[in-house]
Amino acid sequence: MEMLSGGDMLIRALHDEGVDLIFGYPGGAALHIYDAIFNQDKVEHILVRHEQAATHAADGYARSTGKPGVVLVTSGPGATNAITGIATAYMDSIPMVVISGQVTRDSIGSDAFQETDMIGVSRPIVKHSFMVQNAEDIPAIVKQAFHIATTGRPGPVVIDIPKDVTDPGETFPYAYPESIKIRSYAPPTKGHSGQIKKAVEILMSARRPVLYTGGGVVLGDGSELLKQLARALGFPITNTLMGLGAYPATDPQFLGMLGMHGTYEANMAMSEADVILAVGARFDDRVTNSDVSKFCPNATILHVDIDPASISKTVTAHVPIVGPVVPVLEEMLEQVKASKIKIDAEALAAWWKKIDHWRERDSLGVTPAEGEMIKPQQVIQALYKVTNGEAYVTSDVGQHQMFAAQYYHFDLPRRWINSGGLGTMGFGLPAAMGVQLAFPDAIVACVTGEGSIQMNIQELATCKQCALPIKIVNLNNEALGMVKQWQDMQYSGRYSQSTYADSLPDFVALAEAYGHVGVRIEKMSELESKMKEAFAMKDRLVFIDVAVDPNEHVYPMAIRNGAMSEMFLSKTERT
């Protein structure tokens, strides 16, 4: 059997697991591992400029490819810097393996230099974690970590490795396990047929049905089946923020996103539905609003999810179905096709008529500003046009994120990359790096704001080093727009700590300082042409800084503690 050191074993195990790209940052406790990386060429390492960015980049890679993202950081501050990215991945169920260096085994617990209890610190935000006690265990632990991260409801797994375990001076027999069985871990592999039958009967008898689907459909690669099911039924469908792209946004059956900033028609349809089929969605508070007792009180809820704990957590499911999206939808589709119950065509036509009436309200209509002022929505509309709707779009968090979700019509899954659950500012740029590395020839746009982009701006250097031609679309309203919107709506316009117009950097000069191209757009008449020019620079990162209306709000917006039907539609209108 081949003899390898702990460090070599780790990198070899990653390769044997099919990993070809990892994101990280070196430091003392990880140096043996970094030396092992130096001595091989199968696993490529991307050097970021901050460990948080390594996790977001791995996350963007995972979301766009469906493969697990891999991160390598050192102990102490390296590990704690990775925490925000691990939490981001945890909230959105992203498969990720984070390897952190640790101080030597005999100094653990002694408050050694750069020592942090990573297992303890990360415990509430990981699916599982491993502390490697012996180098011989490395292959089995790596195998288990990837198995846990990628199966069932995916999530991040931490492997903490003391420095002496990776010592190049000691070697051990290496063999990568072909398969692994963990007796205490058995994620569901199919749904309960009886429950599926019951759900299909209710679905076929519905008069005002809605399909409400979320990120689980994207993660479980169920988009194709979802399309088939929706078309077989002819029912209206809405996606959550995380589910965008799982169903083509340009399809006539699509009502748009639902929830806090969902379309009028999507939220009204939910509110008046008699049957809701939820698939891979978790009735999150951005969908249900804070008072769940008002949430769709007349609807029978059919809930498909791989995680039993997501079912009946906030909204009670009448028919719970625990299982992976693909086998469950397959079985549903079969039963729908074979069902003796005929869908009430008259009721469905009346339902669609009602929905079309809601659609006429045009809740995402944009009123252009007077003169040359650019509305932020118009930037996303221009982006959609310039990229033919084919870009991978990452976003940060705030108004720009909602505008991107509302106005970029995603027809394919894994194209919309955003931090939905944790809402992590600083996610967009590093996530775009992961996407661009996975798809070097694709158009990758990072829609951001001047607040969020400054949270991981240092990654412009990584983009330079790796020659990543990302297009950064900065909706620059010179303020923390979403905070300001809430302050307008709930704090009588007292802008506590949400403005900084006097101290914003010159983003064009900043981009140039990092060796990239910077473009500033201030006039509506130049928006599309300058965006086109920027996107025509195929081999360069272009930082497109767009001055937008600083007073714009995101609408529709759910009214706090209200029902799904209660929304502000503009600064002056509400339902």
Partner 1 sequence: MRRIISILMENQPGALSRVVGLFSQRSYNINSLTVAPTDDPTLSRLTVTTIGDDRKIEQIIKHLNKVVDVAKLVDLTEGSHIERELMLVKVKATGAQRAEVKRVADIFRGDVVDITPTMYTIQLTGTEEKLDGFIQALAGTTILEVARTGVSGVARGEKILSL
By beta-carbon proximity to partner 1, the closer residue of 305 and 459 is 305
Q: How far is the CB of 325 from partner 1 (least distance, A)?
A: 18
Q: Is 490 among the residues known to form the active site?
A: no
Q: How far is the CB of 206 from partner 1 (least distance, A)?
A: 26
Catalytic one among 51, 115, 330, 331?
Answer: 51
By beta-carbon proximity to partner 1, the closer residue of 317 and 557 is 317
Can you list the alpha helix ranges (DSSP code H) found in 445-516?
460-465, 481-490, 507-513
Q: How far apart are CA 138 and CA 49, in angstroms?
A: 28
Q: How far is the CB of 183 from partner 1 (least distance, A)?
A: 6
How large is the angle between the packed helices 428-438 and 51-65, nearest 10 degrees?
50
Strands 557-558 and 567-568: antiparallel
Q: How far is the CB of 153 from partner 1 (least distance, A)?
A: 8
Q: What are phi and psi of 301, to 5 degrees?
A: -100, 120
Q: How far apart are CA 390 and CA 411, in angstroms?
A: 8
Q: Is 482 among the residues known to form the active site?
A: yes
Tokens of 385: 């046009």
Q: How far apart are CA 521 and CA 545, in angstroms?
A: 6
Q: How far apart are CA 23 and CA 49, in angstroms?
A: 10
By beta-carbon proximity to partner 1, the closer residue of 186 and 341 is 186
Q: Specify which residues 543 forms β-bridges with.
A: 472, 518
* C-alpha dist (Å) from residue 330 to 46, 370, 409: 39, 51, 26
By beta-carbon proximity to partner 1, the closer residue of 110 and 465 is 110
Tokens of 66: 């469906």
Catalytic one among 96, 118, 402, 482?
Answer: 482
Q: How far apart are CA 453 and CA 456, in angstroms?
A: 6
Question: Is-contact 62 23, C-beta < 8 A?
Answer: no
Tokens of 105: 């085994």
State the DSSP code for 479: B
Catalytic one among 114, 195, 228, 458?
Answer: 114
Q: Is 114 among the residues known to form the active site?
A: yes
Q: Is 163 among the residues known to form the active site?
A: yes
Can you list the alpha helix ranges (DSSP code H) found in 423-550?
428-438, 460-465, 481-490, 507-513, 524-536
By beta-carbon proximity to partner 1, the closer residue of 309 and 349 is 309
Pick the closest to residue 310 from 59, 87, 93 (CA basis): 93
By beta-carbon proximity to partner 1, the closer residue of 80 and 205 is 80
Q: How far is the CB of 184 from partner 1 (least distance, A)?
A: 4
How large is the angle between the packed helices 6-16 and 31-38, nearest 10 degrees?
60
Q: How far is the CB of 139 from partner 1 (least distance, A)?
A: 18
Tokens of 551: 């007073």
By beta-carbon proximity to partner 1, the closer residue of 133 and 465 is 133
Question: Is-contact 274 209, C-beta < 8 A?
Answer: yes
**Count of H-run helices and E-run strands, the chain:** 21, 22
Question: Is-contact 404 376, C-beta < 8 A?
Answer: no
Pick the closest to residue 210 from 405, 311, 354 (CA basis): 354
**CA atoms within 13 A of residue 529's CA, in its CB half-sphere:** 5
By beta-carbon proximity to partner 1, the closer residue of 121 and 373 is 121
Q: Specify which residues 156 forms β-bridges with.
A: 96
Q: Is 228 among the residues known to form the active site?
A: no
SS3 of residue 362 by DSSP: coil
Q: How far is the CB of 305 from partner 1 (least distance, A)?
A: 11
SS3 of residue 562 by DSSP: coil
Q: How far is the CB of 130 from partner 1 (least distance, A)?
A: 9
- Cis amide prior to 297 (ω within 30 degrees): no
Tokens of 575: 């339902």
**Which residues contact partner 1 (rule: CB under 8 A)?**
119-120, 123-124, 127-129, 131, 148, 182-185, 307-309, 312-313
Catalytic one among 52, 96, 115, 163?
Answer: 163
By beta-carbon proximity to partner 1, the closer residue of 124 and 371 is 124
By beta-carbon proximity to partner 1, the closer residue of 184 and 293 is 184
Q: How far is the CB of 119 from partner 1 (least distance, A)?
A: 6
Catalytic one among 38, 40, 44, 113?
Answer: 113
DSSP 180-210: ---TT-----S--HHHHHHHHHHHHT-SSEE
Instruction: Show which residues are catalytic.
Output: 51, 113-114, 163, 482
